[in-house]
Amino acid sequence: MAFLDGTTQTNQPPVQKSDDAAGYYTLGAPLVDPVAPTGPIADRWKNRKFENRLVNPANRRKLDIIIVGTGLAGGAAAATLGEAGYNVSTFCYQDSPRRAHSIAAQGGINAAKNYKEDGDSTHRLFYDTVKGGDYRARENNVYRLAEESANIIDQCVAQGVPFAREYGGLLDNRSFGGVQVSRTFYARGQTGQQLLIGAYQAMERQVAAGTVKQYTRHEMLEVILVDGKARGIVTRDMVTGAIDTHLADVVVLATGGYGNVFYLSTNAMGSNVTAAWRAHRKGAYMANPCYTQIHPTCIPVTGDHQSKLTLMSESLRNDGRIWVPKDPKDADKDPRDIPEEARDYFLERIYPAFGNLVPRDIASRAAKYQCDDGKGVGPLVKEVDEHGVERMVRRGVYLDFTEAISRLGEDGVREKYDNLFDMYARITGENPYETPMRIYPAVHYVMGGLWVDYHLQSSIEGLFVAGEANFSDHGANRLGASALMQGLADGYFVLPNTIREYLADGPFDKIDESHPSVVAARTEVEERINRFMTIGGTRSADSFHKELGRIMWEYCGMERTETGLKKAIGLIRDLKKAFWSDLKVLGTADTLNQSLEKAGRVIDFIELGELMCIDALNRRESCGGHFRAESQTEDGEAMRHDDEFAYVAAWEFGGEDGLPVLHKEDLIYTAIEMKQRSYK
């Protein structure tokens, strides 16, 4: 199809034939991005920045912006919007913005700087990201992301982010999973920390300047809509229990991802879906919720007590070689005593072109299959399969640095990965310089999130969503080092340009605390808290969370089937009933009460979990982090169905007892041609 602007669509609109989720949803009207730009792809963002209206500096002071979340996305947005002179309020649930989950990112951040002259460019970063996402991301958004990537590095360096450098004092970079150029900037294994501290410091500077007001230990529990527009939020002061309303002209959610729906994940303990889910229940669409990224290089589970999993940065795959013993009987042997010929370097064998650097979903599934086949290493752990049958399996594969140590020397390896090796030693009690590490996939990142248009506005007017909380840039699979890039691009460069277009219509009519919509939102929150406190059952919120996590990992984890997903939906519905009748929250609501905080987050996870399973059930194709067993090639690779599913699944809340409503946004490609993915 040719467009008026001279571009041509390279793909056919999809027509879905299967209907696995029939009875679990209703079909809504198709959805389009109302502000999608057109024209030659390289000019779209440039033109849009020019077309968006300006807000004169004297008016900015009169415009109030609420930003929930102070990770990379929220912190960067607050710093920039504050600097521009708007009146900004920020909220986070930790005791300081510097502790947002972004701080945990290890590996690095991509940017198309082409400092290595190895053929990188904006277009190549764009292409790699769309391809890596299995063609389920929006071309417009991804191009803009690639375009802004170089500015991010400039900005961060100017703020004093201590990136790794070469001897000459110039910036160093390395390559990252799924990519053949060196475009990843890093600060040893602590890139997220350094970037976040940069954004945090920039934001604190604005706090001092009086443009940003910062609320810590405040949890957002509801959005306030007035005449269909987002005009504020309801928060709980986590220290005093006070329920407060905060009003503004525009609200931004930058509240991170919901990977903790699986209970065990690499996310911080407090990471949650509450802000996004509350907005969803008020009309914001939730897009592609089933797209979960499973990361291949995490420290394996050791037992039931475990509260979280720890990621070992993907950068380790640059130098480490992954293998299992060919003979399962060798599982108990000291790996150093297993000779070369008795080892199976399965990624190098199956994917010779990419070897250990294949994308995350491929590496993860390959490790799972080795373990399913009985070739795993590490302790035997108990598992219950789909039919309720118990079995003992080893869930681990080796990540071996022997060769790297002989090539780079122990010091060379130490310099590159020191803190990761320390962390591994600390958690497992083993020395990874001496014996190969053991790794296994774990839930790490979610590509799904609130639906947004090109301006990052959700389906609720005046509610913008940035960073991991939105769905827009990664498709079905996120390449390494691209989430940090997205968070900072959204915060530093995109929102400041798109929000001004929205705010150019403001200031909007003033509303006050006594407005019926404000009172209603606040009452809703109070009643809900009261309900948690008075169920008086027997089970802790944590115990419900763990149970939900087991269901999600078993049926909606690395591999999904129609029967499994249907079973999971039933189990989750039962769990929800049990929650509302058997929850026990001790203490009172008017002090710091961590059990109460958890209760609110867990019930939102339960509701989200159900929607994730329905989304996964509907999508009878395998792509990226979504692997439907029914859709694979003869040799077990993921099989996409572009003809049926080249769309974004945007779910509308269907009411307390109603069915969710599916809106499909067809994906349109003009600058890229869809190809079947092959890393062989």
Ligand X SMILES: Cc1cc2nc3c(=O)[nH]c(=O)nc-3n(C[C@H](O)[C@H](O)[C@H](O)COP(=O)(O)OP(=O)(O)OC[C@H]3O[C@@H](n4cnc5c(N)ncnc54)[C@H](O)[C@@H]3O)c2cc1C
**Hey, is 1 helix, strand or coil?**
coil
Interface with ligand X in residues 476-515 (CB under 6 A): 481-484, 487
Interface with other proteins in residues 386-425 (CB under 8 A): 423
Tell the burial category of 227 from Cβ atoms under 10 Å away from its Cβ (0-12, 13-18, 19+).
exposed
Tell the smallest beta-carbon distance from residue 168 to ligand X (Å). 25
Read off φ and ψ for residue 282, nearest 5 degrees: -95, 5
Interface with ligand X in residues 305-344 (CB under 6 A): 311
- Binder to ligand X among 163, 200, 445, 553 (CB under 6 A)? 445
| Contact status: 208 vs other proteins (CB under 8 A) | yes
| Contact status: 339 vs other proteins (CB under 8 A) | no
**Hey, is 651 helix, strand or coil?**
strand
- Binder to other proteins among 19, 118, 166, 383 (CB under 8 A)? 166
d(CA 573, CA 97): 35
Cα Rg for the chain, rounded, in angstroms?
24
| Contact status: 207 vs ligand X (CB under 6 A) | no
Q: Considering only 143-151, 249-257, 613-621, 629-637, which stretch makes contact with ligand X by CB under 6 A? A: 249-257
Interface with ligand X in residues 87-106 (CB under 6 A): 91-94, 100-102, 104-106
d(CA 102, CA 92): 13
Q: By C-beta, is 163 or 471 nearer to other proteins?
A: 163
- Binder to other proteins among 402, 540, 561, 632 (CB under 8 A)? 540
d(CA 105, CA 188): 11
| Contact status: 155 vs other proteins (CB under 8 A) | yes
| Contact status: 107 vs ligand X (CB under 6 A) | yes
Per-residue binding letters, 356-395, with ligand X (x by CB under 6 A): ----------------------------------------
Interface with other proteins in residues 571-630 (CB under 8 A): 584, 586-587, 591-595
Tell the smallest beta-carbon distance from residue 265 to other proteins (Å). 11
Q: By C-beta, is 69 or 335 nearer to ligand X?
A: 69
DSSP per residue, 129-151:
HHHHTTT-S-HHHHHHHHHHHHH
Place of tokens 């002179």: 85
Tell the smallest beta-carbon distance from residue 187 to ligand X (Å). 10
| Contact status: 467 vs other proteins (CB under 8 A) | no
Residue among 589, 580, 574 at smallest CA distance from 536? 580
Contacts of 160 (CB under 8 A, 6+ apart): 198, 201
d(CA 314, CA 399): 11
| Contact status: 472 vs ligand X (CB under 6 A) | no
Beta strands 87-91 and 64-68 are parallel
Tell the smallest beta-carbon distance from residue 314 to ligand X (Å). 7
Tell the smallest beta-carbon distance from residue 159 to other proteins (Å). 5
DSSP per residue, 434-501:
TS-EEEEEEEEEES-EE---TTSB-SSBTEEE-GGGB-SSSTTSPPTT-HHHHHHIIIIIIHHHHHHH
| Contact status: 11 vs ligand X (CB under 6 A) | no
Place of tokens 């498709």: 475
Tell the smallest beta-carbon distance from residue 85 to other proteins (Å). 11
d(CA 636, CA 627): 10
- Binder to ligand X among 266, 288, 477, 622 (CB under 6 A)? 266
| Contact status: 275 vs ligand X (CB under 6 A) | yes
Binding residues for other proteins, rule CB under 8 A, total 82
Tell the smallest beta-carbon distance from residue 612 to ligand X (Å). 18
d(CA 604, CA 597): 11
Interface with ligand X in residues 159-198 (CB under 6 A): 191-192
Q: Considering only 64-72, 77-85, 400-408, 528-536, which stretch makes contact with ligand X by CB under 6 A? A: 64-72
Tell the smallest beta-carbon distance from residue 178 to ligand X (Å). 13
| Contact status: 71 vs ligand X (CB under 6 A) | yes
Contact 651, 286 (CB under 8 A): yes
| Contact status: 99 vs other proteins (CB under 8 A) | yes
Contacts of 577 (CB under 8 A, 6+ apart): none
Interface with other proteins in residues 231-260 (CB under 8 A): 239
Using H for helix, E for strand and C for coil, what is the string for 373-430? CCCCCCCEEEEECCCCCEEEEECCEEEECHHHHHHHHHHHHHHHHHHHHHHHHHHHCC
Q: By C-beta, is 484 or 603 nearer to ligand X?
A: 484
Instruction: Quote the distance between the C-alpha of residue 522 and its chain's center.
Output: 29
Residue positions annotated with a catalytic role? 360
Instruction: Point out which residues bind ligand X (CB under 6 A).
Output: 68-74, 91-94, 100-102, 104-109, 191-192, 219-220, 254-257, 266-267, 271-272, 274-275, 311, 444-445, 467-469, 481-484, 487
